[in-house]
A and B are shown apart, each in its own frame.
Chain A
Amino acid sequence: MAGIGFELNKLAKRDDILGTLGAYMHSAMAIAGPWLFTVVALAAISILHGGTGDDLDILNFRGIIIYNFSFSLVLAAPIFMVMTRYLADAIHMENVTKAPSVMLESLLLVYLLQLPVAIFFYAIYFELSLELRLAAFANMFLISSVWLLGVFLTALKDYNAISKTFFCGMVLAVVASWLMQGSGAVGMVMGFNIGLAVIVFVLIARIMAEYPYKLTNEFALKPYFRKYRELALGGLFYNAAIWADKWVMWFAPESITLPSKMIFYQDYDSAMFLAFLTIIPSLALFVFSIETRFFRHYRRFYEQILAHAPLQRLKQYQTDITESIFAGGRNLIFLQGAICFVVILLAPRIFDFLNLFFLQLGMFRLGTLGALFHVLLIFECIILSYFDCRRATMNIYLFFLVTNAIFTYLSMDAGFAYYGYGYFLSSAVSFIVAGFVVVSHVRKLPFHSFITNNTSIRPRVKVVEV
């Protein structure tokens, strides 16, 4: 008796309808973390060294740091997006034996990507002393290593290691660079490098200790790049987007061109970095409260699918998810809105207190408004990432990038009074667009869960023959 016996027993216990449920580390930390780190570091440097626009050494130092932070982040982002996805899958399948290999692969890839840029900057284009070139070159690679290792450990949820190490390392870096002022820019960069190097070595050691597996020479990430190219591109677009307005503004009439040929617009950059710091409370609220509540409802929806719930019940849980998203959004808007409001009002006082350059005030206020919408945008994109809407998030990031660049360019054209409107309007519009995407996705959640984002749309059958 021949025929295909349907051994669909695996279906009932199947959990790959969900891919890797909730293990996507596109949580707040992965998206906002690196930027936050940048911002804190640069803000700290700004504050420590004061607004003295004259000392060439300090300016060169800041220029190098800013260039390195910005370009290494944008180049490393695609790699670490794919890397975190790999790690999420590895954790889900409880097989992290390739973790150290993947870390090395990722580092090498990032270095490869960066190399042309680093060579262009420090071997060709910028006019700096040899020691400074070397220090800056090393700095770029150290910074990208820090990105990668930080994100790596975040993906593995090793928060402890990261926060302590980063904190100590950054303190060391900033203090060391300040102490070395006397030795000029080289000293400052070297000091900074020391702090970074400490972070890098401690983190590598930690990874090697936690994951004592042999290194393999297969390129584990290769299939992941193909399959998740939308993630990689999304990472590229997003990080380029958050730097886009700064890059454009470096060509404003008020920008500085150093003898070393580095261009930047210090006032704008500092104002924006400071403004972005205002989102920290909201980020905390999101990570500790909203994300957990949303995640609970989200997980329940998928668990109930696996628990053979009827559709009626699933629709109820879908409603709960929607409600938790809206409630969370409301809370964020209130909190961040309130902070934004207060900060804008008190801006002059803040500037006085921190001894900041008053010309940055307008940009700072607009930056604060922009940051409000930016953090809401992050929130929306994280929700979409939970639902594995990779293409949608990639497109939203692209939209953010394009609008940020264009609007900033237009605002630059319009004159000093309008500086900052580019970022603000772009993040506001992107927030609205992303909002529509989130709503439309959640409305059709069953369809998207079972079909659009279902990584396994095939039942298994087995042959029986007598």
Chain B
Amino acid sequence: MSIHNDADVCLILEGTYPYVSGGVSSWAHQLISSQGHLSFHLLSIMPDDADLDLKYSLPSNVSGVTTIRLGKLPTGRRSASPHRKQVHARLHEALNVLTSNQPLHINHLRQLLESLEYAGDGVGGHILLDCEEAWEHLIELYEDSYAEHSFLDFFWSYRAIVGGIFSILNTNIPRAGIYHAMSTGYAGLMAARAKVQYDRPVFITEHGIYTNERRIEVTSADWLEETSSKALTVDETRRDLRDLWIDAINNFSRVAYQASDRIITLFAGNQIAQLEDGADPTRMQIIPNGVNINHFGNLGRNPQDKPTIGLIGRVVPIKDIKTFLRAMSLLSQQMPDFTAYVIGPREEDPHYDAECERMTEMLGLQDKVIFTGRVDVEDYLPMIDVLVLTSISEAQPLVMLEAGACGIPMVATDVGSCREIIEGTELEEDKALGHCGHVIPLASPQAASEGIMDILSDKERYEAFSVAAKARVERFYNQTLLNEAYQSLYKTYLS
């Protein structure tokens, strides 16, 4: 006897669609639109104080949206002490594993869910986080492993992590044929929970690798106090608050991979990290991003009188706009006249944006470099002769695929799958198509300007790159391939 599903596919999204606009969001939107024969329910995990304006108009096959505020738990009922003691006794082991460098197993997740069931109706923040038993557990962990560290930072970190976990586990989720998470992290944890609870197929599609990104953030976070200088002992087991975060994040990935039937990513480079975090190779798969070939192919070319260079991306440090500006400065010594566009929103990091503006002036590039702000990229693609990306971190930039579909040669840093897009993957057929630009090291304005110069100065080379770009995108990054791949996956697992 089948129980009625709320939707065919439940998409699990963290910090993205439909409340944030960006690459992954657009991808998700496109996925839903392309699978019009299936109904989707959106399970969107957002920070607890984020504003919830819809940034996309939802396609008609979205049957519902559930929004979870991370860390926000209803207070719930107050229960008697013996009951609370029992609840926490059951939560104890699983929580300990989660917040340590022991690997989390999906059975621990089951334990947590059962404890929540045992806690009964109306369980909420009071029983889970605010009661004395919860406090005792927090103190125990602190005194065990973090006794020399800032208690304040530990308190908030622990509370954020555990509160986040409970807000994922302690909420009602829809019933669906397939659960498809767009990242690991809390979304992955939610997918694993769905597996435990409903035993349905689970997919994960990773664009960037969540654990890597968060590791970088946590390691460079200045809101976690520095402790390495304070302890004088050389102690292997000495743990730092960063470890608390990193271990929890690692464990989320671990349990998500355990629960997944298919572990998908965009390019081979990512798979190394997935394997390290415990993904089963037999369940792994690559499905690259795709763009609408016809649409971009038909945008046409609108060459300008001066050579035109474009960097398409938000004005934020991770895009390393400053290296681009330095490259433009070096370029201006070789090439007297050109236009360079920085095409992307400027509101996200006003401080960095101001610094870039100042730098442009200092380098005397005001008449050459133009910051467009938020515009329709398609207006600019026909004008651009070369696409440049100087990012410090990327997955598989849609802008490169779009530019490639227009036949625009590229210069990009060696991050994510940029090299594969420019030079081809290991696949013979791909390599044979040839290069469509230059791969440069990180933070090297010299290499960037040389690469651009090379492309623009040699007409034949330009043509070759242009043809290769178009061919590669058409053959391997075609949106129809993407749609078919997911269509067949969904079909297989829904039956």
**Residues of chain A having any CB pair with chain B under 8 Å:** 1-12, 14, 17, 305-306, 308-312, 314, 444, 446-447, 450-452, 457-466
Please, which residues of chain B bring their CB within 8 A of the CB of A465?
15-16, 20-25
A-B contact pairs, 10 of them (CB 8 A): A1-B23, A1-B207, A1-B395, A3-B14, A3-B185, A6-B217, A9-B222, A451-B135, A465-B22, A466-B394
Q: What CA separation (Å) do A10 and B214 show in the bound complex?
A: 18
Please, which residues of chain A bring their CB within 8 A of the CB of B132?
444, 447
Inter-chain pairs besides A2-B20, A2-B23, A461-B71, 18 sampled, C-beta below 8 Å: A1-B207, A1-B208, A3-B214, A5-B213, A6-B160, A8-B160, A9-B222, A11-B156, A11-B223, A12-B153, A12-B222, A309-B151, A311-B142, A311-B151, A457-B130, A458-B71, A465-B22, A466-B22
> Which of B32-40, B45-53, B94-102 is near enough to bind chain A?
B45-53
Q: What CA separation (Å) do A9 and B223 show in the bound complex?
A: 4
Which one, B46, B50, B152, contacts A17 given CB within 8 A? B152
Distance between A368 CB and nearest chain B CB, rounded to angstroms: 42
Q: What CA separation (Å) do A444 and B131 show in the bound complex?
A: 12
Please, which residues of chain A bring their CB within 8 A of the CB of B208?
1-3, 466
Q: Does B369 contact A (CB under 8 A)?
A: no
Q: What CA separation (Å) do A437 and B127 show in the bound complex?
A: 23
Interface 0/1 of B187-227, CB less than 8 Å to A: 00000000000000000000110100110011001111100
Range, interface on chain B:
35 or more
Please, which residues of chain A bring their CB within 8 A of the CB of B149?
308, 310
| Contact call B135/A447, Cβ cutoff below 8 A | yes
Q: Which residue of B lies closest to A465 (CB)?
A: B22
Q: Which residue of A lies closest to B49 (CB)?
A: A460
Q: Which residue of A lies closest to B146 (CB)?
A: A310
What's the dominant secondary structure at chain A's contact region?
Answer: mixed
**Residues of chain B having any CB pair with chain A under 8 Å:** 13-17, 20-25, 45-50, 70-72, 129-130, 132, 135, 139, 142-143, 147-153, 155-157, 159-160, 163, 182-183, 185-186, 207-208, 210, 213-214, 217-218, 221-225, 245, 314, 318, 393-395
Q: What CA separation (Å) do A458 and B224 show in the bound complex?
A: 17
Q: Which residue of A lies closest to B19 (CB)?
A: A463
Please, which residues of chain B bring their CB within 8 A of the CB of A8?
156-157, 160, 221, 223
Distance between B11 CB and nearest chain A CB, rounded to angstroms: 12
Q: Given that A451-B130, A451-B135, A465-B24 are known contacts, is A4 also in contact with B156, CB under 8 Å in the complex?
A: no
| Contact call B151/A314, Cβ cutoff below 8 A | yes
Distance between A318 CB and nearest chain B CB, rounded to angstroms: 12
| Contact call A463/B152, Cβ cutoff below 8 A | no
Distance between A344 CB and nearest chain B CB, rounded to angstroms: 45
Distance between B198 CB and nearest chain A CB, rounded to angstroms: 24
Q: What CA separation (Å) do A264 and B17 show in the bound complex?
A: 73
Q: Given that A2-B183, A459-B159, A463-B46 are known contacts, is A308 also in contact with B15, CB under 8 Å in the complex?
A: no
Which one, A2, A7, A10, A310, contacts B14 given CB within 8 A? A2
Q: Given that A308-B152, A447-B135 are known contacts, is A459 also in contact with B147, CB under 8 Å in the complex?
A: no
Q: Given that A308-B153, A458-B48, A466-B208 are known contacts, is A4 also in contact with B185, CB under 8 Å in the complex?
A: yes
Q: What CA separation (Å) do A417 and B471 show in the bound complex?
A: 110
Please, which residues of chain A bring their CB within 8 A of the CB of B142?
311
